[in-house]
Every structure is written in C-alpha cells, then in structure tokens.
C-alpha cells in the first residue's frame, strides 16, 4: 500500500486531449465554487492550482453532507465518513452516502482510491464495494431504499467501471454501444447502440457491465482479473468520469471502460457510497469543462 505522488490521471485524455487551462479558468466563473490546492498532496497539484475544484480539502467534510440509512442526514456517531491523514476514510460499517452540497454539470472529475481491509457483516466474504454517483438528485435513499436518483460508476472489486442507472420512479435513459451476454448487458465500443432505461415499469435500476468484464466474475472478497484495468488490492486506482452534455464516460487507470450517450440526466450532485467495504480516497478533484 505504498502511496505515490505520480498521478497518472493528470495525463488522461478525453477524445485525445484534456480541456485547455483557459477552458478550466473560464469554468471557474460559476458562482460560489472554491478553488484550492490539495491538502493531502499539494506537490501533485501545483500545475493544476487555479484551474480545478478540490472537493476533498484534506481536513474535514466541508462542502458535503452525509446520510446513514435509518439515521438521517449528518448523524454519524460511528464515523462512517471521516478524514484521516489528509484522506477521506469510508469505513463501510453502515450503508449510506456522502454527497456534495452543490450541483455540477459539464465537468471532469478525478478520484483516486484504494481499498482498506475490512468488510462488514453480513458481507464479510463479498467483493469489496463502494461507488461514485454522478448527477445525484435531492431525495436521499430514493432508489431501493438506499441511493439518490443518479448514475453510479461502480467501485466494486472485479466490477469497477460498471455503470448503474439508479432511477427509482423517475426514468433514466441512455444509449450504450454494447451487447447482451447471457443475462448481462456489456459495454462494447463500436457495437450497435442500444437504448437502456430504468424507472420504467417495475425496473428501478439498470446495470451496464464495463468493457472486458470477466464473465466468470464472482462476488468474493479479493476478486481480481489481471486483464482488467483495476489494480491489485492495496494499490491506488484512478477513476476519471467525464460528464459533458448528455454524455458520460468512465475511465479507469487510463482506459475507457464505459460510456453512455443521449442521457436525459445531465446535472446534479456528486456522491460516494458506503456499502460495507472500507475504502480511502486521497483525491477527488473536479475540472469544469
């Protein structure tokens, strides 16, 4: 679990190139956005200073609210969400979410995470689980009694980069290049586009597997596919999500693993799940487009 100051996500590209520094600065005209350098890794952000929004300040949870199922908002006596050594620590002991107070649209968000060691009952033997939620709605636990309406980019051992349309009773629609494999739908770049939707009829959510997902994936702690973009347990991973207009692209460690177009959900808050798996985030940084 050796940390490194080399951030490969700084070199990730979107459609071949990153937005220019001028574009980032123009995006900062949005009222009320706070621009700071990273407290946990200031040296890594010297180049980005003045052009990005650091969502984690390395000291406390300013700019966020959280809820625990059955306990409501900002009631967290077990410290499921906390800041330790400049990093966000999500213990996973209780199910809930940490969500930004502000809404965002048209941005690139970079999250750097690594797993802890603990999985909590009743999921001690399951694959470690979390998730980055994009375009979160205002109602907590609106979907399956757990999550806000949103689009989730899975952070789930062996399934990192799976995309979940968390619709609840309010439909979410997306076009995905992909194909059915067995009972699962898989993102396959270049395949015929398919309309996927949730919140229609009795279907409250819809899962789009990431490109190249192991067909023999098992919900087992420590599951790892060496051909996947995910790194082995204990190493830092970099997830980059680009929300541009009605398109959402998910990259993992420099590889595009999922993409949706023609989305009918294009703005909202950003959220992180607590879902039994212990996890650390040392970076969560937003770049306006």
Q: For 224-247, write each residue's pLDDT tens digit.
A: 999 999 999 999 999 999 999 999
Cite the DSSP H helix spans in the chain. 21-27
Higher per-residue pLDDT: 12 or 45: 12
For 64-113, the pLDDT digits (tens) are 999 999 999 999 999 999 999 999 999 999 999 999 999 999 999 999 99
Question: Residues 167, 79, 218, CA angle at the centre, nearest 5°?
Answer: 50
Q: Are 267 and 136 in contact (CB under 8 A)?
A: no
For 191-229, the pLDDT digits (tens) are 999 999 999 999 999 999 999 999 999 999 999 999 999
| Least confidently predicted of 5-9, 177-181, 252-256 | 5-9
According to CATH, the superfamily of the domain at 8-288 is: Exo-inulinase; domain 1 (2.60.120.560)
Q: Distances from the Cα of 255 to the Cαs of 59, 238, 268, in angstroms?
A: 31, 10, 25
Residue 131 to residue 109: CA distance in whole angstroms:
14
pTM of the model: 0.83
Torsion angle of the four alpha carbons 209, 212, 218, 221, in this order, in degrees rounded to the nearest 10: -100
For 138-160, the pLDDT digits (tens) are 999 999 999 999 999 999 999 99
Structure tokens at 137: 């709605």
So what's the pLDDT on residue 44?
33
So what's the pLDDT on residue 182?
85
Residue 69 to residue 254: CA distance in whole angstroms:
34
Across the chain, mean pLDDT equals: 87
Strands (DSSP E) along the chain, which ranges? 53-54, 64-68, 72-73, 81-84, 87-90, 96-100, 107-119, 129-136, 150-156, 163-166, 172-181, 184-187, 193-198, 205-208, 237-244, 247-252, 255-260, 269-274, 277-288
pLDDT above 90: percentage of residues in the chain: 81
pLDDT above 70: percentage of residues in the chain: 83
């Amino acid at each position: 679990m050796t940390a490194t100051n080399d951030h490969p996500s700084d070199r990730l590209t979107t459609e071949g190139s990153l937005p220019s520094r001028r574009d980032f600065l123009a995006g900062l005209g949005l009222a009320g956005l706070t621009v700071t350098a990273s407290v946990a890794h200031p040296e890594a952000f010297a180049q980005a200073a003045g052009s990005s929004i650091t969502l984690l300040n390395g000291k406390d949870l300013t700019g966020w609210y959280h809820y625990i199922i059955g306990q409501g908002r900002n009631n967290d006596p077990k410290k499921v969400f906390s800041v330790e050594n400049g990093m966000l620590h999500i213990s996973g002991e209780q199910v809930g979410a940490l969500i930004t107070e502000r809404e965002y649209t048209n941005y690139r968000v970079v999250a750097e995470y690594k797993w802890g060691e603990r999985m909590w009952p009743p999921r001690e033997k399951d694959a470690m689980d979390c998730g980055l939620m994009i375009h979160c709605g205002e109602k907590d636990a609106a979907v399956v009694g757990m999550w806000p309406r949103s689009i989730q980019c899975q952070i789930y051992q062996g399934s990192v980069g799976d995309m979940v349309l968390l619709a609840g009773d309010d439909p979410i629609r997306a076009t995905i290049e992909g194909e059915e494999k067995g009972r699962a739908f898989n993102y396959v770049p270049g395949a015929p586009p398919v309309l996927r939707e949730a919140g229609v009829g009795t279907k409250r959510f819809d899962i789009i597997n990431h490109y190249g997902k192991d067909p023999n994936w098992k919900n087992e702690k420590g599951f790892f596919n060496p051909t996947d973009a995910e790194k082995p347990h204990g190493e830092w991973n970099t997830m980059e999500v680009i929300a541009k207009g009605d398109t959402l692209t998910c990259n993992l460690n420099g590889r595009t693993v999922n993409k949706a177009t023609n989305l009918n959900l294009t703005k909202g808050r950003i959220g992180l799940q607590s879902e039994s798996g212990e996890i650390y985030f040392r970076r969560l940084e937003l770049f306006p487009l």
